[in-house]
């Protein structure tokens, strides 16, 4: 049998990897030119910058094992357990020296992946996995509605590091700025680069990075005006849902909307779909 996975984010890659490891043929189709989805990293100023997800966290034993495998391979490392403005108990956050996208590339290694291909109708296959936000899947199948919020990301490059050392911060109750991460700290090269993420309310009406840079300057006491690059993520933060995935016949929907929104949730959801497909057929 052949399974077609539409979407090469962490959920789709985890699903395809699990299927292939179980001896099932899986083809992955991705509309963008690279794998990873919101595990996005870009070469900016000659170095990798995480422009999507800020870090990874884990409390599931299987995902923690995956993190340790990446650590042994030199692809990931524990970054920090405390961010400014953090509420609740300390949580270990993981970063990647080569950018978080390097972890997606590792999952994708050896898989049958077609990039730059837009899927406009359900493919013919024994099973189809839609590894994407619900609003995007709505054009292909009739699944229950999901609610997602947008985010504007601003990559701020300064001439020098003029702020006190910190890993990152939650900026609580700010109208524009939600979080800011010290990319030089999480990458370990001390580069004068900060990455700011907007509130959903701001992103619904604006895509300008200047107010984000001004807010970062106010919060951290930075006078220098940075070079600003922005990225817009229309489906960045889902409202938490229930279950591991959704299914209609031989069509499955998976991703980080099925539980607490984070990378671990997407990875677990993709693997859960793969295991359900394995159980539903004798191949």
Cβ density class 86-115: b for 16+ within 10 Å, e for less: beeeeebbbbbebbbbbbbbbbbeebebee
Under 8 Å between Cβ of 18 and 252: no
Half-sphere exposure of 241 (CA within 13 A, CB side): 23
| CA atoms of 179 and 54, how far apart (whole Å) | 9
Query: In 73-166, which ranges are continuous DSSP H helix?
Result: 101-108, 134-137
Look at residue 85 in the predicted model and tell me its pLDDT: 84
Confidence of residue 256 (pLDDT cuts 50, 70, 90): very high
Q: Are 13 and 266 in contact (CB under 8 A)?
A: no
Question: β-strands 177-182, 193-198: how paired?
Answer: antiparallel
Average pLDDT, the chain: 95
pLDDT of residue 282: 56
Looking at 3.40.50.300, 3.40.50.150, 3.40.50.980, 3.90.660.10, the CATH number of the domain 148-237 comes to 3.90.660.10
pTM more than 0.75:
yes
2-56+100-147+239-280, CATH topology level = FAD/NAD(P)-binding domain (3.50.50)
Q: Left if phi > 0, otherwise alpha if psi is -120 to 50, otherwise beta: which for 69?
A: alpha
Q: Is residue 243 predicted with pLDDT exceeding 90?
A: yes
Comparing C-alpha atoms, which of 12, 258, 260 is closest to residue 132?
A: 12
Strands 112-115 and 25-30: parallel
Q: Name the nearest CA neighbour of 54 among 43, 38, 66.
A: 38
Angle at 147 between CA 181 and CA 273, to 5 degrees: 90
Q: Which two tokens stand for residue 132?
A: 């994407």
Cα–Cα distance measured from residue 149 to residue 83, given in angstroms and rounded to the nearest whole number: 23
Residue 205: per-residue pLDDT = 96
**pLDDT, tens digit (0-9, with 9 covering 90-100), for 196-242:** 999 999 999 999 999 999 999 999 999 999 999 999 999 999 999 99
46, 74 in Cβ contact below 8 A? no
Q: Decide: 243 and 256 in contact? Cβ < 8 Å.
A: no
pLDDT in tens, 155-201: 999 999 999 999 999 999 999 999 999 999 999 999 999 999 999 99
Number of residues in the chain: 283
Instruction: Give me the pLDDT at residue 283, please.
Output: 47
Domain ranges of the chain: 2-56+100-147+239-280, 148-237
End-to-end Cα, the chain, rounded Å: 6
Q: Give the CA distances from residue 181 to residues 11, 30, 56, 94, 197, in Å, rounded to whole numbers and listed in that order.
A: 24, 28, 13, 13, 9
CA distance 54 to 95: 8
Alpha helices in 56-195 (DSSP H): 61-72, 101-108, 134-137, 183-187
């Amino acid at each position: 049998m052949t399974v077609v996975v539409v979407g090469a984010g962490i959920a789709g890659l985890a699903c395809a990897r699990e299927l292939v490891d179980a001896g099932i043929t899986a083809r992955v189709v991705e509309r963008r030119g690279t794998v990873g989805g919101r595990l996005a990293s870009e070469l900016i100023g000659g170095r990798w910058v995480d422009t999507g997800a800020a870090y990874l966290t884990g409390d599931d034993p299987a995902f923690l094992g995956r993190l340790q495998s990446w650590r042994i391979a030199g692809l990931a490392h524990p970054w920090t357990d405390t961010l400014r403005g953090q509420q609740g108990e300390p949580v270990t956050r993981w970063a990647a020296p080569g950018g978080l996208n390097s972890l997606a590339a590792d999952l994708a290694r050896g898989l049958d992946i077609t990039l730059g291909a837009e899927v406009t109708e359900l493919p013919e296959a024994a099973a189809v996995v839609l590894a994407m936000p619900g609003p995007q899947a709505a054009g292909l199948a009739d699944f229950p509605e999901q609610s997602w919020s947008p985010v504007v990301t601003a990559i701020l490059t300064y001439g020098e590091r003029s702020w006190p050392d910190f890993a990152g911060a939650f900026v609580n109750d700010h109208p524009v700025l939600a979080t800011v991460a010290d990319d030089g700290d999480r990458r370990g090269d001390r580069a004068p680069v900060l990455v700011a993420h907007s509130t959903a309310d701001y992103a619904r009406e604006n895509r300008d990075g200047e107010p984000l840079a001004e807010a970062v300057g106010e919060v951290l006491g930075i006078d220098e005006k940075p070079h600003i690059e922005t990225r817009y993520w229309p489906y960045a933060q889902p409202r938490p849902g229930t279950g591991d995935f959704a299914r209609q016949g031989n069509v499955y929907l998976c991703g980080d909307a099925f539980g607490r929104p984070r990378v671990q949730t997407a990875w677990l959801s993709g693997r859960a779909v793969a295991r359900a497909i394995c159980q539903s057929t004798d191949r």
